[in-house]
A and B are shown apart, each in its own frame.
Chain A
Amino acid sequence: MANTFAFVESLSGALRRVGLEAVTAARRLADATGGGEVHALVMGAPGILATAEVIGAHGADVVEVVEHAGLALYSPEVVAATAAARIGDGSYRAAFFSASAQGKDLAPRVAAKLGASLGADVTAFEASGDAIVVRHPVNTGKVIATLSITGTPVLLSLRPGAVTAERAPRTARVATIAPAIDPAAARVVPKELLAGNTAKLDLGEAPVIVSGGRGLRAPENFKLVEDLAAAFGNAAVGATRAVTDDGWRPHTDQIGQTGRLVSPDLYIACGISGAIQHLAGMRTSKTIVAINKDREAPIFKIADYGVVGDVLQILPVLTEAVRKAKQSH
């Protein structure tokens, strides 16, 4: 019986949520196709072995761990060579990666090494005869493609949040293995991780995003957006391209066609008119709130709840109300 593979992404010694999503996805596909084992691979600096238990608890039968001092930072060549060596043994029908910044770098490298088919950034998957059928948003999410992918194995990178990581306890067999190439021999050398604010919730993982645009009028007024995000406690701060172009916010905060594509449970657009490029990045949010002076702004056409008015006056009141609501829980 064919097995299923999951590459479990980590950063700075900690598993990322998307890593456990990949394990859950592999477990689901294995169970749907009549069993077979889920084999997981996790790589990192010494200490990463401690994550094997939680990987097993999410449904892996085998957890292979590569611990190496040269893997404190993601080393693309070492990780790709090791993953390809593992998947290339012919026992896998499918292999899951994350469609994260790291996974989107890794999965195509592994696919090319193996001559394998890759379904990238998939939001849904199922086995269908010899093929794996996936859904993949194209044209900035304005069109959804359904693709049939054949070959053995089929590699899939899974869009963050496409499945929810679930516990499916197994007593996993844990083995430590060596990297396929010595990290010291890699040509592409990771020099430095610029951590930014690691305490800050990532836009891709935050259930709530509070986002600001030109309507805030000055960079210092972004404090109002940050205050509202802080009141939620589980919110990240985003921005429009106009704002990141002007240097009010870092480029990495940009949500839109050429920035991040997000779909949180709640998206609050503050002083954002709703240019089509911005809508491309956030239109799949589950609930959208818009606060804007201009009643005719396109953002109101897609917002579930609109408030017309000056964002500088409304935000402090909203922040206080959210804080009270959170306290009364």
Chain B
Amino acid sequence: MKIAVCIKRAADMETRFKIAADGKSIDETGVKFDIADFDGFAVEAALQLKEKDGTGEVTVISLGKDTVQETLRKALSMGADKAVHLKTDAVPADALVIARVLAAELGGGGYDLMLFGRMAIDAANQSVGPMAAELLGVPCVSAASQLGIAGGRGTARRELEGAAEVLEFPLPAVVTIDEGIARPRLPSLKGIMAAKKKPLEVKPVQVGESRVTVMKMELPPERTGGRIIGEGPDAVPELVRLLQTEAKVL
């Protein structure tokens, strides 16, 4: 089975974010970057499907500046077989523009399965995977927390609010991966050494005009909490009084 996984390089969400001088972007000084959370789950899902199958190939694909090669190398060190860097200096804010670039790459690849993370943890649009599927004209299941492939068909479980659903679909298909399938494995030393020799193809791409423009980025107001009202069960009457009279939520 040929599997492609589209991954994004994203800031570590433990970062204390600062807004850059332009007021429209994040100040990247000193910020750590890694494979975006859900994309890591997608890489792990792909590797497990390949291992279960006993045969196949996992290709990781990322759009962005040269720095995404570090992220692709990490996926290679986890066990992916090859990598494609779709090179551009500016990743637009328009999910459809990104989906078009990725679909153009995926379309010629002959992949049986094309995986994405459920959402990019930074932009949080949760849109690129289903959009790419539509552009490719292939079936799509989004936010799968379980995924099984057998006999050219897939079965996925997707979490809804307070419920879940099970869907079946034929391959080739796009599936976006939610948490629940597996924790991403850590690269081994052997994996890191092997990754250096694996192919990483760089393809310059033209991205289309974005109709989504960032006008402003700002930090939400700080919470001014931090009020300890007492200790142990004795504090309960005061807590209830404050919830009734001050917060008015009881």
Contacts of B229 in A (CB 8 A): 305-307
Is the Cβ of B212 less than 8 Å from the Cβ of A119?
yes
Kindly state whether residue A208 has any CB partner on chain B within 8 Å: yes
Residue from A102, A121, A254, A280 in contact with B125 in the complex, judged by beta carbons closer than 8 Å: A121
Contacts of B128 in A (CB 8 A): 108
Q: Which residue of B lies closest to A314 (CB)?
A: B233
Q: Which residue of B lies closest to A75 (CB)?
A: B167
Known contacts being A104-B143, A142-B220, is A115 close to B96, with CB within 8 Å?
A: yes
Count of interface residues, chain A, beta-carbon cutoff 8 Å: 99
Taken together as a complex, chains A and B put the C-alpha atoms of A162 and B231 apart, in Å, by 36
Residue from B99, B132, B218 in contact with A144 in the complex, judged by beta carbons closer than 8 Å: B218
Is the Cβ of A252 less than 8 Å from the Cβ of B164?
yes
Count of interface residues, chain B, beta-carbon cutoff 8 Å: 83
A228 CB to closest chain B CB, in angstroms?
11
Residue from A140, A143, A287 in contact with B218 in the complex, judged by beta carbons closer than 8 Å: A143
Is the Cβ of B247 less than 8 Å from the Cβ of A105?
no
Known contacts being A73-B165, A189-B169, A321-B237, is A280 close to B141, with CB within 8 Å?
A: no
Is the Cβ of A190 less than 8 Å from the Cβ of B165?
yes
Known contacts being A112-B134, A259-B179, A304-B227, is A202 close to B162, with CB within 8 Å?
A: yes
Greatest chain A CB density within 10 A among B213, B220, B236 is at: B236
Is the Cβ of A266 less than 8 Å from the Cβ of B139?
no
Is the Cβ of B165 less than 8 Å from the Cβ of A193?
yes
A274 CB to closest chain B CB, in angstroms?
11
The majority secondary structure among interface residues of chain A is mixed
Contacts of B162 in A (CB 8 A): 196-198, 200-203, 252
Is the Cβ of B212 less than 8 Å from the Cβ of A143?
no
Is the Cβ of B163 less than 8 Å from the Cβ of A198?
yes
Taken together as a complex, chains A and B put the C-alpha atoms of A233 and B126 apart, in Å, by 33
Contacts of A143 in B (CB 8 A): 17, 19, 26, 217-220
Known contacts being A105-B143, A111-B131, is A308 close to B164, with CB within 8 Å?
A: no
Contacts of A192 in B (CB 8 A): 165-166
Residue from B19, B94, B212, B236 in contact with A318 in the complex, judged by beta carbons closer than 8 Å: B236
Is the Cβ of A189 less than 8 Å from the Cβ of B167?
yes
Kindly state whether residue B243 has any CB partner on chain A within 8 Å: yes
Kindly state whether residue B124 has any CB partner on chain A within 8 Å: yes
Residue from B37, B139, B217, B233 in contact with A145 in the complex, judged by beta carbons closer than 8 Å: B217
- The stretch of A41-49, A146-154, A167-175 that contacts the partner chain: A146-154
Contacts of A300 in B (CB 8 A): 225-226, 228
Interface residues of B in 196-244 (CB under 8 A from A): 211-220, 223, 225-233, 235-237, 239-240, 242-244
Known contacts being A140-B13, A251-B145, is A188 close to B167, with CB within 8 Å?
A: yes
Residue from B95, B163, B179, B244 in contact with A258 in the complex, judged by beta carbons closer than 8 Å: B179
CB-CB nearest 9 A-B residue pairs: A112-B134, A108-B127, A309-B232, A112-B131, A306-B228, A146-B216, A120-B125, A108-B130, A266-B249
Contacts A191-B166, A306-B227, A318-B236 known; 11 new A-B pairs at CB < 8 A = A101-B160, A101-B161, A113-B134, A115-B96, A118-B127, A120-B126, A147-B214, A188-B140, A194-B164, A303-B227, A308-B228
